[in-house]
């Protein structure tokens, strides 16, 4: 997705060989027009899959997943990282490790919102080591629902997250694949032919 790549080049900040900061349009401040285009791109890629729910993880996955769900005409469900007074039982849960935050969280969703007859599309902001995606996949498996695939806004192609997911025969669609952050420069992997 060329518009996304340009945004990453123009506004992203390379903090290290493994950390890309995109707070100005995705992870803190949201660019709503870009999110609309991202939603359209994911909806287009998964339009034949009869999606009934879009699943994401709070908080940075919410904007792209809501726009995708809007285009598909289905609800978005987001997994919470912390339990609340209203989210205490009847849950699907998984533990995930966040590399950027250096902590493990138990993520949860209510069993009321993902059922065994659902066809779920997972959307997330980043794919690096694959921990968040794996946790969301585990919750879909717990529900008995079908998984159409995983949509990723920005993939760090130099890390092993995609390989881990694809080894389970799960489809991964990334809108921008970063092949390197070396020397403070973002390099993209060219889109593979479909």
Q: What is the mean pLDDT of residues 101-114?
A: 90
What was the pLDDT predicted at 85? Answer: 56
For residue 168, pLDDT beyond 80: yes
In 3-129 the beta strands, taken as DSSP E runs, fall at: 13-14, 20-21, 53-57, 76-79, 91-98, 103-110, 119-127
Nearest CA among 30, 32, 25 for reference residue 6: 25
Q: What is the mean pLDDT of residues 148-172?
A: 97
What was the pLDDT predicted at 87? Answer: 63
What was the pLDDT predicted at 105? Answer: 86
For residue 86, pLDDT beyond 70: no
Q: Which of 36-40, 80-84, 139-143, 145-149 has the lowest mean pLDDT?
A: 80-84
Q: Kindly give, in sequence order, each residue whose CB lies less than 8 Å from that of residue 67, ignoring residues fewer than 6 positions away.
A: 35, 36, 38, 39, 40
90 φ, ψ to 5°?
Answer: 60, 50
What was the pLDDT predicted at 89? Answer: 77
What was the pLDDT predicted at 194? Answer: 34
Pairing of strands 91-98, 103-110: antiparallel
Tell how many helices (H) and how many strands (E) occur in the chain.
5, 10
Rounded CA-CA distance 15/54 in Å is 31
Q: What is the mean pLDDT of residues 15-22?
A: 95
Tell me the fold of 32-171.
Rossmann fold (3.40.50)
pLDDT band with cut points at 50, 70 and 90 for residue 192: very low
* 161 contacts 126 by C-beta, under 8 angstroms: no
Please say whether the dihedral angle defined by the alpha carbons of residues 20, 24, 30 and 32, taken in this order, is positive or negative: negative
Where are the domains positioned within the chain? 32-171
């Amino acid at each position: 997705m060329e518009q996304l790549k340009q945004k990453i080049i123009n506004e992203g900040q390379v903090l290290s060989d493994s950390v890309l900061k995109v707070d100005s349009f995705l992870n803190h401040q949201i660019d709503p027009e870009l999110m609309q285009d991202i939603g359209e791109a994911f909806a287009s890629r998964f339009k034949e899959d009869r999606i009934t729910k879009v699943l994401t993880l709070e908080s940075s996955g919410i904007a792209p997943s809501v726009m995708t769900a809007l285009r598909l005409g289905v609800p978005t469900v987001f997994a919470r990282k912390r339990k609340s007074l209203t989210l205490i039982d009847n849950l699907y849960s998984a533990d995930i490790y966040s590399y950027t935050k250096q902590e493990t969280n138990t993520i949860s969703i209510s069993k009321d919102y993902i059922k065994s007859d659902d066809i779920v599309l997972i959307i997330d902001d980043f794919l690096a080591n694959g921990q968040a995606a794996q946790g969301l996949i585990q919750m879909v498996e717990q529900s008995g629902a079908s998984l159409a695939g995983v949509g990723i806004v920005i993939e760090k192609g130099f890390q092993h997250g995609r390989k881990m997911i694809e080894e389970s025969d799960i489809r991964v669609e990334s809108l921008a694949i970063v092949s390197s952050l070396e020397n403070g420069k973002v390099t993209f992997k060219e889109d593979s032919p479909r």
